[in-house]
Amino acid sequence: MVKKERLGVILSESRLPEFIASLTETYRIFGPSKKDDGESFADIHKSEELALDYRNTKMSSKGFFFPQTESLMWYDSTDKKAKQDKPEVQPTLLFGLRPCDALAISYLDKVFLSNEPQDPYYRQRREATKIVCLACNSPSPTCFCTSVGCGPDSENGADIMMYKLNDRYFMKALTPGGEEILTKIDAETEPATSQDIVEKDDLVNKACQMMKRFVDIDEFKEKLDNFQGPWWEKLAQKCLGCGICTYFCPTCHCFDVTDEVVRQSGRRVRTWDSCMYPLFTLHASGHNPRPTERERMRQRIMHKFNYADKYYSSIFCVGCGRCIVHCPVNMDIRQVITQIMEER
């Protein structure tokens, strides 16, 4: 038993169905869905429904803890008291999350949990969830996690780290919560050997090779200390200000709070917001500190790579590449970073 814990465990691919079946007894499982080729995370009841050979989901997983639309409270003008909405939560497992997304969740934990006061809505969902992370064997051309302090086997945010070897999965627990899960499914697994480790390391190295590090991120952070840098105008020219990048980004956390009312009652609801929108910083007086795309683009890049680092000790980019894939004008953040680094 001791050896198992030290190196990890092996789950043969043929035992995946039993593995999942036994987990469904305790957890509601979300995983990459075979129905849409892993484009989204869906409710998983059987291992056959999983598409673990997926690259990454279209939308990030931040929606599990920080939904696009969330009712904060309901009110009734007859009693003037606000009734807090309590999200319905049950023990949940995010199964097969990529390391970049798991790291992003650990960043969001900093915003909503470690940064007092705690956000009760986020906390309730987060506390009920455990994350089984699946390391990447073949990154996409748009992945650049190794350039931003993440990697195909980054462990931050994960309760269990899982690797796909030839015909089996290598797993190791990273938290007590992860240990709990592995103990529960002890019957399905075998202890890992040093050979498994060698194979796993080899795969990780190969994956890292596929992503060339294109920037020294610490140098870039420092370069951004020059707020008045002349490069923003040209970089922001083609930006449409549509907000897709912020919506798909796993670490973007800005939100709007609005009140809805139907006759005498209503709710206060929070929805995703984007610093790329012109009204984001509009004062009631009409003054807007960020009037054009130039200021807003600067804000987005500075927040991700400079301000977040000063405030939370992490840059808020995990290199998932979603902003690159979905931008309608092909604004590539890697090119943005490279162009800024090249400017004197």
Partner 1 sequence: MKQAEHEIRSNVGKLLKQKNIDVFIGYEKGSLPLRTSPCFVSSEKEARKLIWNSFCTNNLAVYLPRIMSRVKNKGSTRVGIICKGCDSRSLVELIKEKQLARGQIYIIGISCSGMVDYKKILSQVNSDEVIGVDETADEITVRSKEGERVFSKEENLCEPCRACKHAVPTVYDMLIRTAQQPRQATTPDPTVHDFLMKPREERWQILEQELSKCIRCYACRNACPNCYCKECFAEQTKPRWFGVTTDLTDIIFYHTIRIFHQAGRCVDCGACIRACPMNINLRLFTRMLVDEVKERFGYEPGVSAKEVQPLATFKTEDRQDFMIEPE
Partner 2 sequence: MSNPYKPTPVKISDIVVENEARDIKTFKLTFIDKADEENFVFLPGQFAELSMFGFGECPIGIASSPTEKGYLLFTVKRAGVVTTQLHRAAVNETIGIRGPLGNTYPLEKMKGNNILIVGGGFAFTTLRATIKYILEQTNRPRFGDLMVIYGARSPGELLYKSELWALEKRSDMETFITVDKGDKKWNRREGFVPTVLKEVAPSSRQTVALVCGPPIMIKFTLPVLIELGFSPESIFLSLEMRMKCGIGKCGHCNIGHKYVCKDGPVFSFAELQKLPQEY
Convert residues 121-150 into a mask of x (bound to partner 1 by CB under 8 A) and - (unbound): -----------------x-xxx--------
Quote the CA–CA distance of 118 and 23 in Å, as a whole number: 30
Q: Say whether residue 17 binds partner 1 (CB under 8 A).
A: no
And the tokens for 310? 């000063």
- Which range of residues in 94-102, 107-115, 128-136, 213-221 is near partner 2 by CB under 8 A? 107-115
CA nearest neighbour of 302 among 222, 214, 215, 216: 222
30, 248, 305, 316: which one binds partner 1 (CB under 8 A): 248
- Which range of residues in 92-100, 177-185, 231-239, 284-292 is near partner 2 by CB under 8 A? 284-292
Determine contact, residues 123/171, Cβ cutoff 8 Å: no
Q: Say whether residue 76 binds partner 1 (CB under 8 A).
A: no
How many residues comprise the chain?
344
50: which DSSP letter?
B
Q: Which positions ≥6 away from 333 have C-beta within 8 Å?
A: 245, 301, 317, 323, 324
CB neighbour class for 255 (10 Å; exposed up to 12, middle 13-18, buried from 19): middle
Quote the CA–CA distance of 101 and 99 in Å, as a whole number: 5
Strand partners, 32: 41
Residue 277 contacts which entry, partner 2, partner 1, none (Cβ below 5-8 A, type-dependent): partner 1
91, 120, 177, 328: which one binds partner 1 (CB under 8 A): 328
The least CB distance from residue 217 to partner 1, in Å, is 19
The least CB distance from residue 253 to partner 2, in Å, is 6
Strands 265-272 and 69-76, by their bridges, are antiparallel
Quote the CA–CA distance of 251 and 110 in Å, as a whole number: 11
Residue 84 burial (CB count, 10 A) = 11
Q: Say whether residue 51 binds partner 1 (CB under 8 A).
A: no
Which residue ranges make up the site for partner 1 (CB under 8 A)? 55, 58-59, 68-69, 138, 140-142, 234, 237-238, 240-244, 247-248, 256, 258, 260, 269, 271-272, 274, 277-279, 292, 324, 326, 328-332, 334-335
Which residue ranges make up the site for partner 2 (CB under 8 A)? 72-73, 75, 77, 80-82, 84, 111-112, 115, 117-120, 123, 227, 253-259, 261, 266, 268, 270, 273, 275, 280-285, 287, 289-290, 295, 299, 302-303, 306-308, 310-311
